[in-house]
Structure 1
Amino acid sequence: MNGNSNTGKIALVTGATRGIGLHTVRQLAEQGVHVLLAGRDRDRADAAARELRGEGLSVEPIALDVTDGASIEAAAREVDARHGRLDILVNNAGIILDDGSLPPSQQSLDTWRRTFDTNLFGLVAVTQAFLPLLREAASGRIVNVSSILGSLTLHGQPGSPVYDFKVPAYNVSKSAVNAWTVQLAWELRDTPIKVNTVHPGYVRTDMNNSGGEQRGEIEADEGARTSVQMALIDADGPTGSFTYLGETLPW
């Protein structure tokens, strides 16, 4: 990857005012991409984009709440009016609401519904809204940020790294993201658009916060690397894959 080959590309990253999303914006911009930093709170998006622009990076804020259809449509209209196309969509926004003290069968339906509203239905809605703009690009790229916790294979395999890590609403929502990725990649198989899902790693972020302490093995900048790699793949790159830093993960 180099900045010259990516100059002129336009990317949008959801859930980008902090954590992995913010580092994804930074790293894409460092590669020469003009990045739309999307967040639910316009003021926070403005502040984050202003800081990155102060570092000489090409970043523009945009308000986008993935659980609000009107917000999604307004953002799509705004991108269409300003740019007329979108080269890269990184569906990064996500939440984890499971109560770690409860087993899978006792998580509330409200937890399931709210988790899926953001992690799956919001992701699908954003993709549907921006797909016409991705079709206007020479080679559109869609990156869905999932998790190794969405791997059905590993959850059913005693002794695997995730076998005993049951946060069911979150895990199942990410399994569904993986399944959606396969469906969409099939639909777009004869187009220049590539659709892939990624595991960012076990990242120290606010989402992995327990009792005021951030858990995780790597920092957020490292967690953004796989998203950036897959956003910038060339025509020979994969589609319909589930990867972490180039390693294929089991579904």
Structure 2
Amino acid sequence: MQTKKYVFITGANKGIGFETARQLGKMGYVILLGARNELKGEEAARILVNEGIEAHGIMLDVTRQDTIQAAVSQMEQKFGSLDVLINNAGISVGGAALPSQISLEDIRKTYDTNFFGMISVTQALLPLLQQSPAGRIVNLTSGLGSLAFNSDPEHEHAQFNLLAYNSSKAAVNMFTVTLAKEFRDTPLKINSADPGFTATDLNGFTGIGTVQQAAAIVVKLAVLDEDGPTGGFHGNDGELPW
């Protein structure tokens, strides 16, 4: 009988991903830290181990299918199951370029990580997640992906007119909705999490929230009980408009 619960987090060697790993690890989860740089992933795992958390670094670049398959094989062979997938890895490129001027290269690069990479990782790990009696998927998104917020000139998010990043997060939200509908009659629960404007290297540490605050909603969605929501868009202050 399985007693340990395993959580895999992409982009987990720093920022919100690492803090989420720490909080879940302190709750007893075995932490599998995905990182593009193998050495950085292993170092992050050592930090958690020194805090009394069982943690393992796993090399994974969400834009490279070979590393995704290698990571899945490693998880199958070493751990045999997966209970929680947290799709945390994300980038923002193109700076503050106007929608009429941003390069297609920057848009494609953003989508390769934020959207296509997320789908690739999720599809590869679904067979393992379906073996869990209570599988959970949390997709890191943003309030900047809300069409309602972006179309409201009075909303604070409206000033950030970032075509690549914002639209990639709106796409993530649609992935959440459609995947949750597909698995609505199963134990799997899939939700989008908005961690808020958090001080990380993604925004040059200009965010106003801490990683501890940001991780709270991610952790909450990762440990939902059987009566918890699925297919929703959630922040620390409640459900958000699409």
TM-score bracket relative to the smaller structure:
over 0.9
TM-score for both structures, normalised by structure 1: 0.94
SS of equivalent to 1:243: strand
Closer, same or farther in 2 for the Cα pair 1:234/1:150, shift >3 Å?
same
1:184 matched to 2:179 = yes
Contact 1:15 1:94 in 2 (8 A): yes
Matches of 1:186 and 1:83, distance apart in 2:
28
- Equivalent in the alignment of 2:16: 20
- Equivalent in the alignment of 2:74: 78
Matches of 1:120 and 1:250, distance apart in 2:
20
Moved more, 154-163 or 193-202: 154-163
Letter in 2 for 1:165: F
- Equivalent in the alignment of 2:236: 245
- Equivalent in the alignment of 1:3: none
Letter in 2 for 1:54: N
Letter in 2 for 1:123: M
Shift of 1:99: 2.1
1:228 matched to 2:219 = yes
Q: 1:33 aligns with which of 29, 32, 38?
A: 29
Shift of 1:43: 0.3
Alignment of 1:93-112 (within 5 A): 93-100=89-96, 102-112=97-107
- Equivalent in the alignment of 1:119: 114
Q: Could you give the per-residue CA deviations for residues 54-77 of structure 1, whole angstroms, max 9, x where no partner exists?
A: 111111111111000000011011
- Equivalent in the alignment of 1:42: 38
Matches of 2:137 and 2:54, distance apart in 1:
20
Q: Could you give the per-residue CA deviations for residues 171-204 of structure 1, whole angstroms, max 9, x where no partner exists?
A: 0000000000000000000000000001001100
Contact 1:84 1:136 in 2 (8 A): no
Letter in 2 for 1:139: A
Q: 1:91 aligns with which of 71, 87, 92?
A: 87
- Equivalent in the alignment of 1:131: 126
Matches of 2:51 and 2:98, distance apart in 1:
46
Contact 1:88 1:142 in 2 (8 A): yes
Shift of 1:8: 1.5
- Equivalent in the alignment of 1:169: 164
SS of equivalent to 2:159: coil
> How many residue pairs get matched?
241
SS of equivalent to 1:35: strand
Matches of 1:16 and 1:48, distance apart in 2:
8
SS of equivalent to 1:105: coil
Q: 1:208 aligns with which of 198, 203, 212?
A: 203
Matches of 1:237 and 1:161, distance apart in 2:
29
Letter in 1 for 2:225: D
- Equivalent in the alignment of 1:195: 190
Q: Could you give the per-residue CA deviations for residues 90-123 of structure 1, whole angstroms, max 9, x where no partner exists?
A: 00000000221x2111000110000000000000
Any stretches of 5+ residues in structure 2 without a counterpart? none
TM-score for both structures, normalised by structure 2: 0.98
1:67 matched to 2:58 = no
1:57 matched to 2:53 = yes
Superposed CA RMSD: 1.1
Shift of 1:230: 0.3
Matches of 2:187 and 2:28, distance apart in 1:
21
Shift of 1:160: 1.1
Letter in 2 for 1:41: N
